[in-house]
Amino acid sequence: MEKLFKTYIKSQNLFEKKDKILVAISGGCDSVALSYLLKKMNFKFSLAHCNFNLRGKDSDKDEQFVKNIASKQNLKIYIESFDTISFAKQNNYSIEEAARILRYKWFEELRRKYSYDYIATAHHLNDRIETFFINIIAGTGIKGIRSIKAKNNKIVRPLLFAKRTDIEKWCILNKIEFRTDKSNSDIKFIRNKIRHEIFPRYKEINPAFERTMAKNFDVFSDIEKIYNQYIEDSCKSIVSKRKDLIYINIQLLMDEVAPKTVLFEIINKFGYNASQSDSIFKNIDLIQTGKVFHSKNYRLIKDRKNLILKKNIKKYDNIFYVYEKHEKIKHPISLSFKILSMSDNFENLKDKDVAYFDADKVVFPIVIRTKRDADIFYPFGMKGKKLVSNYFTDIKLNLFEKEDTFLLISNKEIMWIIGYRTDDRYKITGETKRVLIVKLLK
């Protein structure tokens, strides 16, 4: 066991002797074995124990047991007590999910606070196989088939190579005491049902089932690497970013070998689940332009040739004022202001980000705000007025671009649709004496 343990840590590049490890310990065989193996090999580590208060006096006995282990091994130990049942009810989690969230959140807080390099858990090969079946039953992708990783950011699992029975034998051989969680036999939990009812069936068919699955996981991990590379290469051509918007080119997406999967991998990063992704993909030709799909932090729309993502931010409903003394503003949009005399021979640049106005027609304070339904302006170079909403349609702005476009207003009249078109009423003429130059700053 010691040799395999050492080899696995090195082969998976989990951590080094110089690293400081926080070890999750429950008192069970696996986590106790992990602590003794690390101690035997002189790694630097401390222990962390969660009391989930789910098993009455047994939970308290577990806590005392791990305290004794820490004392025997002269190790620092952190202990936290959780009201797991209340947390699960408040957040509509299963008990298993609630416990998982609570412990990993606390472990990470400890890691950051006390500068540990890694958090080590005692997951083993059987845990990995059980998780594989849980994922298959629930519905999963390549990550679920690969199951638990040996190293996932700051989480390391040095026992993932070992079978549960081998760990137990090692503890018994080395006269290492551990506690047994009686709830591990309760088949109302899906993991236990798989462990006690499904697992044995597979072992009847293949006595070397665990080792066969270990080889499968190696294959699945390599497949995941190939898969991730394919997705990364696809995204380079399909996905682009302009300002704060993320564009997914529909035609390029549909030209992919597996467009449905590529779409899921792209939008899943922004909080969209498999059901939403399937719905968008199946109806991609039928989705009405401007229809919005929501995730927790993003909105997605279809606009002609693209699916477009935008992060949710507070909508600007306020009115912002610019006074004549202002030379530059940064909120809600970055603009600079300068007034020059016509005699200064300024250069009239043909730049959509720079606008020129007859300064003597401008009434300060200038107002900056977003569009309202009845807004009209007189487009520069044209006769007559036009609804701003119709102008947006003419220049094919999508919903998000419309939301992010600001108007510059003087005396309740639109001077400039910023970055697009000025108003003819404020243009420079032969009678202009002073020029107001407004520049959109990137």
Q: What is the pLDDT of residues 353-389, one digit of tens each?
A: 999 999 999 999 999 999 998 999 999 988 899 999 9
Q: Is the pLDDT of residue 22 over 90?
A: yes
What pLDDT score was predicted for residue 366?
95
Contact in structure between 196 and 183 (CB atoms under 8 Å) = no
Q: Which two tokens stand for residue 232?
A: 């990364």
82-132: per-residue pLDDT in tens?
A: 999 999 999 999 888 999 999 999 999 999 999 999 999 999 999 999 999
The token pair at 115 is 């500068």
Mean pLDDT for 310-317 is 76
Residue 189 confidence (pLDDT) above 80: no
Among 241-255, 291-305, 315-329, 338-352, which is the least confidently predicted range?
Answer: 338-352
pLDDT, residue 315, reads: 65
Q: How confident is the model at residue 291 (pLDDT cuts 50, 70, 90)?
A: confident
Distance of CA 5 to the CA centre of its chain: 33
CA distance 310 to 313: 9
Average pLDDT score, the chain: 92
pLDDT of 184 reads 66
Binning pLDDT at 50, 70 and 90, where does residue 141 land?
confident
Least trusted range by pLDDT, from 93-107, 304-318, 399-413, 426-440: 304-318
The answer, yes or no, to whether residue 48 has pLDDT greater than 70, is yes
Task: Name the architecture of domain 2-220.
Answer: 3-Layer(aba) Sandwich (3.40)
**Chain segment 253-278, per-residue pLDDT in tens:** 999 999 999 999 999 999 999 899 99
Give the span between the Cα atoms of 233 and 223, in whole angstroms. Answer: 15
92's CB contacts (< 8 A; 6+ apart) are: none
243 contacts: CB under 8 Å, gap ≥ 6:
404
Say what the pLDDT of residue 316 is: 61
- Ranges of each domain in the chain: 2-220, 243-311, 320-440
Residue 288: predicted pLDDT? 79
* Dihedral sign for Cα atoms in the order 9, 10, 11, 15: positive
Return d(Cα 290, Cα 308) in angstroms, integer.
10
Residue 157, both tokens: 């699992």
Query: At residue 346, does pLDDT exceed 70?
Result: no
Over range 66-73, report the average pLDDT: 94
3-state secondary structure the chain: CHHHHHHHHHHCCCCCCCCEEEEECCCCHHHHHHHHHHHHCCCEEEEEEEECCCCCHHHHHHHHHHHHHHHHCCCCEEEEECCHHHHHHHHCCCHHHHHHHHHHHHHHHHHHHCCCCEEECCCCHHHHHHHHHHHHHHCCCHHHHHCCCCEECCEECCCCCCCHHHHHHHHHHCCCCCCCCHHHHCCCCHHHHHHHHHHHHHHHHCCCHHHHHHHHHHHHHHHHHHHHHHHHHHHHHHEEEECCEEEEEHHHHHCCCCHHHHHHHHHHCCCCCHHHHHHHHHCCCCCCCCCEEECCCEEEEEECCEEEEEECCCCCCCCEEECCCCCEECCCCCEEEEEEEHHHCCCCCCCCCEEEEEHHHCCCCEEEEECCCCCEECECCCCCCEEHHHHHHHCCCCHHHHHCCEEEEECCEEEEECCCEEEHHHCCCCCCCEEEEEEECC
Confidence of residue 214 (pLDDT cuts 50, 70, 90): very high
- pTM of the entire structure? 0.73
Does position 428 have pLDDT exceeding 70, yes or no? yes
Class of domain 320-440: alpha beta
374: tokens are 């009845």
Amino acid 150: pLDDT: 95
> Between 342 and 307, where is the model more confident?
307
pLDDT classification of 186: cutoffs 50, 70, 90 = low
Cα radius of gyration (the chain) = 32
440's CB contacts (< 8 A; 6+ apart) are: 333, 334, 335, 353, 354, 418, 419
How much is the pLDDT for 126? 94
Cis peptide before 259 (omega within 30 of 0): no
pLDDT at 351: 86
pLDDT for residue 185: 67
